[in-house]
Amino acid sequence: MQKKGEAGDPATGGEVKVDLGLQGKKAIVVGAARGIGMAVAETLAREGCDLAITARSEDGVKDAVASLKRYGTKVVGKAANVKKADDYKAWLAWAVEALEGCDILIPITSAGGGLGSEKYWNNAFEVDVMGPVRAVDAVLPTMTEQKSGSIVLIATTSAGEAMGGPQPYNAMKASLVTWGKQLALFHGKDGIRVNVVSPGPVEFEGGNWDMIKGTMEKFYQSQLRQQPAGRLGTPEEIARCVVFLASPAASWCNGSHLVVDGAFTNRTHF
């Protein structure tokens, strides 16, 4: 029995070890070369997962694969463009074959913002909606056959509140919240869990908020003042929540929608 004051004692701030049950699991992460996607892939690898990753940049994927291999698990990756449906489907089939299965799918794809014109709507639909749809379609046969699997979809806090004007990004990401619940209800009988995570504003080098900080300083500072903690989130803070939901440790979480925003949004949940 653990004694008070020993490592792992919550009362003294000691580290508490929780086994997520991810050792040896096979995970596919789409959009894993940087930001939240890379942080998710790194957290999975650190927990013992074999990985198949992709992103649009061939160099970015090569660098990510090389970095992730330091954790000692199998890591494979090739570049793919989510908007090129046939090539993307071929990559997904390759990923399942390379891993010899799939236990976890986390499609982290985003076309970003943009107001008004039809091209932004088409772009958001292809990337933010059809990217996850095609990925889910690719892994469902394997997960259904093995009677187990975990899928985590990535939405946004902008899906739950009217932020930033009438953007297709917000609307398309909102559709994932509904679709994720539908998938969870329909495939629960197959042992497949589907959950959704909605991150708030996240800052990292080269990311959107990093660029906004450099080009729209007043807007950046106004957003910062709305953050209860006085800062934006980090990719690692989002990744830990995503990986927990993906893991067997969250076995009774199915159809959940987890908002990870440091209390930035004003919505209440009952």
Q: What is the pLDDT of residues 8-65, one digit of tens each?
A: 444 444 555 678 999 999 999 999 999 999 999 999 999 999 999 999 999 999 999 9
Structure tokens at 156: 């946004």
Reported as a single tens digit per residue, the pLDDT across 113-133 is 667 678 889 999 999 999 999
Q: Is 124 left (phi over 0), alpha (psi -120 to 50) or beta?
A: alpha
- Name residue 199's beta-bridge partners: 260
Q: So what CATH class is 20-260?
A: alpha beta
The whole-number average pLDDT for the span 244-248 is: 98
pLDDT of residue 2: 41
Structure tokens at 159: 């899906």
Reported as a single tens digit per residue, the pLDDT across 168-195 is 889 999 999 999 999 999 999 999 999 9
Domain boundaries, the chain: 20-260
- Name residue 50's beta-bridge partners: 26
